[in-house]
């Protein structure tokens, strides 16, 4: 039987041991159905999820719900929306009880006196031109001022097909603002013209993402194996899709056979009762889904499949470390 | 169905369950080191442990508390835990 230590030198084995017992159990919460932007390609609005449930307005109900989530074993709350910063009392209720990550468009600054070390991920969709087309405004100009130099904030840079050959300028702007960045790919749920991926573009993008990681190792939080997985949709000869995805809400998961999956994962709607099918839109085609967290999790839950060669195991460690850094389980 | 409560047999049974349920290769119940660290060396995660725990619970008619998973890092420790619950 192959063992982990037989595949790794001492340095890699120590890195492995640092993460092997983290046992991260995340769930995702729609904090609100409202947003201060309406972006073309945002799955929350394009798939009607903002109308899936009537938002719970009582903060006591949120607090009780969060207590139950904690009892359920959740140790990472991922807050999305809508725009969570429109409801800071709810964000605070999570933050007081659980390690919390808040996804935001960055237009409203999370007050650090109330949330001193909460991880914040700012969405960024391409460059200024793409942002104006897809989101109606250049959000970076505002968000980078709001969060300049913040040690607990990074950009979630959603790369579009129009960004190929142009990512370096964006990464440099983020670096100059004293922030980190994690790269992911647009899934184009609303079918905006010119924003679909072609296979050759994905190949070029993978090389470019690798380059960015090499050029900006202190800014880019990523790994080359993640770039491979997200651009090819393949891992160890397997293809990503519905029967492989780990990020399906557990009580709704009737797949047979059950793939390796996130334990107790639920994506909750803002009524605190309704569950969404998965971490993204139920209307999305799973075979072309580019969700970064789902692909990362796909690698992470398939640890034993990577106990094959030293390189496979190192790849797994790098992806797990990347995830753990993004959610502050280990330092940058 | 009656099951043996002898420690060594419990160890072999747990090894069999792990090999079958987790599809472990290049190991037999007899060669599976009962003291090898299941997480740090075999790469078992909490979902694997939950899978094994369900089968053990059926076989031995006892419950493995999820809060106890972190303590169950080797087959021998799992066997002692099972033995203590019988």
The arithmetic mean of pLDDT across residues B44-57, rounded, is 92
The arithmetic mean of pLDDT across residues B64-77, rounded, is 92
Asked whether the predicted pLDDT for residue B1 surpasses 60, the reply is no
Confidence (pLDDT) at B5:
62
Is the Cβ pair B47, A16 closer than 8 Å? Answer: no
Confidence (pLDDT) at A52:
86
Shortest alpha-carbon distance between residue B62 and chain A (Å):
21
Q: In this structure, what CATH number is given to the domain that contains residue B60? A: 1.10.1200.10
Confidence (pLDDT) at A141:
95
Q: How far, in Å, are A25, A205, A241, A263 from residue A247 at the CA level? A: 11, 25, 11, 9
B27 in a structural domain: yes
Is the Cβ pair B40, A73 closer than 8 Å? Answer: no
Is the Cβ pair A21, B43 closer than 8 Å? Answer: no
Shortest alpha-carbon distance between residue B4 and chain A (Å):
27
Q: Give the sign of the dihedral formed by CA A143, CA A144, CA A145, CA A147.
A: positive
Instruction: Round to whole Å and give the CA distance between A123 and A130.
Output: 13
Is the Cβ pair A260, B27 closer than 8 Å? Answer: no
Is the Cβ pair B42, A4 closer than 8 Å? Answer: yes
Q: Which residues are bridge partners to A220 per DSSP?
A: A181
Map tokens 């053990």 to a residue: B56
Confidence (pLDDT) at B3:
56
Confidence (pLDDT) at A315:
98
Confidence (pLDDT) at A291:
93
Q: Where are the domains of chain A?
A: 23-291
How many domains does chain B fold into? 1
The arithmetic mean of pLDDT across residues B28-48, rounded, is 95
Confidence (pLDDT) at A31:
97
Cβ-Cβ pairs closer than 8 A, A with B, add up to: 44
Helix axes A310-326, A292-301, angle to 10 degrees: 130
Shortest alpha-carbon distance between residue B11 and chain A (Å):
17
Asked whether the predicted pLDDT for residue B2 surpasses 60, the reply is no
Chain A residues 238-277 within an 8 A CB cutoff of chain B = 260-261, 263
B40 in a structural domain: yes
Q: Which residues of B touch A (CB under 8 A)?
A: 22, 24-27, 31-32, 36, 39-48, 50, 66, 70
Which chain B residue's Cα is nearest to A261?
B47
Probe site for chain B from A304, A313, A316 (most B CB atoms < 10 A): A304
Q: Which residues of B touch A20 (CB under 8 A)?
A: 39-40
Q: What is the DSSP string of chain B?
A: ------HHHHHHHHHHHHHHHHT--S--TTTS-TTS-TTTTS---HHHHHHHHHHHHHHHT----GGGGGG--SHHHHHHHHHHH-
Probe site for chain A from B15, B25, B36, B46 (most A CB atoms < 10 A): B46
Residues in chain A with pLDDT values less than 70: none
Shortest alpha-carbon distance between residue B3 and chain A (Å):
28
B37 in a structural domain: yes
Confidence (pLDDT) at B66:
85
Confidence (pLDDT) at A235:
98
Give the mean pLDDT of chain A: 95
Confidence (pLDDT) at A38:
85
Shortest alpha-carbon distance between residue B19 and chain A (Å):
11
Confidence (pLDDT) at B76:
96
Q: Which residues of A touch B47 (CB under 8 A)?
A: 260-261, 263, 301
Instruction: For A286, list phi and psi in degrees, rounded to 5.
Output: -65, -25
Q: Given pLDDT bands bounded at 50, 70 and 90, which one contains residue B4?
A: low
Is the Cβ pair A23, B26 closer than 8 Å? Answer: no
**ipTM of predicted complex:** 0.87
- CATH superfamily of the A23-291 domain: Aldolase class I (3.20.20.70)
Going across the sheet that includes A119-125, the strands are A180-185, A153-159, A119-125, A100-104, A76-80, A26-30, A267-268, A275-276
**pTM strictly above 0.90:** yes
**Left (φ > 0), alpha (ψ -120 to 50) or beta: where does A44 sit?**
alpha
Range of the domain at B67: 7-85
Which chain B residue's Cα is nearest to A265?
B47
Put simply, whether A142 touches B (Cβ < 8 Å) is no
Shortest alpha-carbon distance between residue A250 and chain B (Å):
12
């Amino acid at each position: 039987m192959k063992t982990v230590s037989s595949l790794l030198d001492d340095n890699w084995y120590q890195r492995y041991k640092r993460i092997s017992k983290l046992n991260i159990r995340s769930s995702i919460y729609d904090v609100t159905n409202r947003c201060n932007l309406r972006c073309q390609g945002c799955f929350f609005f394009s798939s009607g999820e903002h109308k899936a449930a009537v938002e719970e307005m009582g903060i006591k109900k949120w607090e009780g719900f969060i207590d139950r989530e904690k009892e359920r074993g959740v140790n990472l709350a991922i807050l999305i929306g809508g725009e969570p910063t429109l409801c800071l009392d709810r964000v605070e209720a999570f933050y007081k009880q659980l390690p919390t990550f808040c996804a935001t468009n960055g237009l409203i600054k999370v007050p650090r006196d109330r949330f001193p070390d909460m991880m914040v991920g700012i969405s960024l969709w391409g460059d200024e031109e793409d942002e104006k087309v897809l989101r109606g405004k250049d959000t970076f100009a505002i968000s980078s001022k709001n969060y300049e130099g913040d040690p607990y904030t990074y950009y979630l840079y959603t790369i579009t097909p129009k960004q190929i050959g142009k990512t370096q300028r964006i990464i440099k702007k983020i670096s100059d603002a004293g922030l980190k960045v994690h790269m992911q790919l647009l899934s184009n749920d609303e079918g905006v013209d010119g924003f679909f991926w072609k296979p050759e573009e994905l190949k070029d993008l993978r090389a470019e993402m690798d380059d960015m990681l090499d050029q900006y190792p202190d800014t880019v939080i990523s790994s080359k194996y993640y770039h491979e997985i997200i651009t090819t949709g393949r891992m160890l000869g397997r293809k990503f899709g519905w029967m492989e995805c780990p990020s399906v809400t557990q009580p709704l998961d009737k797949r047979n056979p059950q793939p390796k999956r996130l334990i107790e994962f639920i994506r909750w709607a803002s009524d605190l009762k309704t569950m969404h099918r998965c971490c993204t839109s139920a209307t999305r085609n799973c075979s072309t889904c580019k969700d970064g967290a789902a692909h990362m999790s796909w690698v992470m839950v398939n640890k034993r499949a990577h106990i094959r060669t030293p390189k496979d195991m190192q790849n797994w460690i790098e992806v797990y470390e990347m995830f753990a850094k993004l959610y502050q389980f280990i330092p940058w | 169905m009656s099951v043996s409560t002898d420690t060594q047999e419990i160890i072999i049974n747990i090894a069999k369950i792990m090999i079958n349920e987790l599809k472990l290769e290049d190991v037999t119940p007899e060669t599976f080191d009962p003291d090898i660290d299941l997480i740090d060396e075999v790469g078992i995660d909490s979902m694997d442990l939950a899978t094994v725990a369900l089968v053990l619970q059926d076989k031995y008619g006892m419950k493995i508390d999820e809060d106890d998973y972190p303590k169950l890092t080797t087959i021998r420790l799992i066997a002692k835990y099972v033995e203590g619950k019988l």
